[in-house]
Amino acid sequence: MNKPAQILLDRLAITASALCALHCIAAPLLLVIFPSLLALPVGDHFYHILMVWFVIPTSSIAVLLGCTRHKDTAVLVLAFLGITGLAISAIYGHDLLGEIGEKLATLTATFLLIAAHWRNYSLCRNDSCDHAKSGKC
């Protein structure tokens, strides 16, 4: 895959992760201000699973493509921790940690994933990165 497509995937994954974090932070406040929003399924467990099913493939593809280019293990570790944390908190978080613990775990995992994508995006955008000469960057 070419470099612009990989950068686009990183941007998409950052946006999806940020929307997930925004939903986690803003949903309780919006529900207090606008109780009629309770009729929408955005607070439902299905929404969380749906977001995880969108974030995992997008993030995995973007990170793996970037890591094959710049070989930065920090990106891989941050992404793995973020994806694993999101999946665990979406599936088991409420039962294991309670509602507040689930939100904190989800936010922590989301910020780890955003950090991984931001680093991946920055490394892949770096014009001084010369893969042909050094073999890695």
The CA distances from residue 101 to 24, 61, 98, 104, in Å, are 12, 29, 5, 5
Closest CA to 110 of 42, 29, 55, 41: 55
Q: What is the chain's pLDDT, residue by residue, as a tens digit (137 residues)?
A: 566 776 777 777 777 777 777 766 776 676 677 677 666 665 556 777 777 888 888 888 888 887 777 788 898 999 999 999 988 888 887 788 887 888 888 889 888 988 988 888 888 777 544 443 444 43
Q: Which residues contact 130 (CB under 8 A, 6 or more apart)?
A: 137
Nearest to 58 by CA among 91, 94, 83, 81: 83
